[in-house]
Amino acid sequence: MDAHDWDERYRSRDRLFSGRPNGVLVAEATGLRPGRALDVGCGEGADAIWLARRGWQVTGIDISAVALERAAAAGADLDGRVTWTQGDLTVAPPAKAAFDLVSAQYFPLPKQPGHTALHGLLEAVAPGGTLLVAGHDLADLGHLRGEGIDPTAFYQPSEIAGLLNGEWVVEADETRARTAPAPPGTHHRHDTVLRARRLG
């Protein structure tokens, strides 16, 4: 899906997502010392807003201008603690070593030869910073094939863990039950989670 497709998807509903922060982010980031955070595929802004209200300086990036307009409205009280940015990470990577937390919650990053976009995402994590990636368990995504979507065409957290080099310490690489009900009409019962720390 390109920017137009995502804009149309957001326009199809008054709110596409719940407005609550993702459970994996809440569980894994609560104990982290606030710093600079990148919320990848920030959508309507719930995760970025949650982080900002806990002391983080956040950049929320999304391909959809419609989603970003909603996010900015929802976080209008945050006094510049969130920067909303329209961008496509498969085309332009984020700034290198700029973030103490890079969070990608259910972000569909397509696999590429040479892992160009993924390396750009990894390089955005500052030394000592945290990479946090959550996905849906592939066992819960069989219905997508009937819609013409191959979920294995996108990076899974465990695959990313396998591509990390000696600059990283993997702190969690696991499948766990969701802490919140799945969105209506979906079959998501389990999350796959990667949390890794960049050495430095």
List of domains in the chain: 36-198 (3.40.50.150)
> How many angstroms separate the Cα of 4 from the Cα of each of 14, 59, 123?
17, 22, 28
Return the residue matching tokens 């983080």.
Answer: 56
pLDDT at 151: 82
- Compute the mean pLDDT over every residue in the chain, rounded to the nearest whole number: 90
What is the mean pLDDT of the segment spanning 98-118? Answer: 95
Cα separation, 173 vs 195, in Å, equals 7
31-62: pLDDT as tens digits: 999 999 999 999 999 999 999 999 999 999 99
Helix axis angle for 3-11 and 65-74, nearest 10°, is 50
SS3 per residue for 139-192 = HHCHHHHHHCCCHHHECCHHHHHHHCCCCEEEEEEEEEECCCCCCCCCCCCEEE
Among residues of the chain, what percentage have pLDDT more than 70? Answer: 89
pLDDT at 52: 98
Asked whether the whole model's pTM tops 0.95, one would answer: no
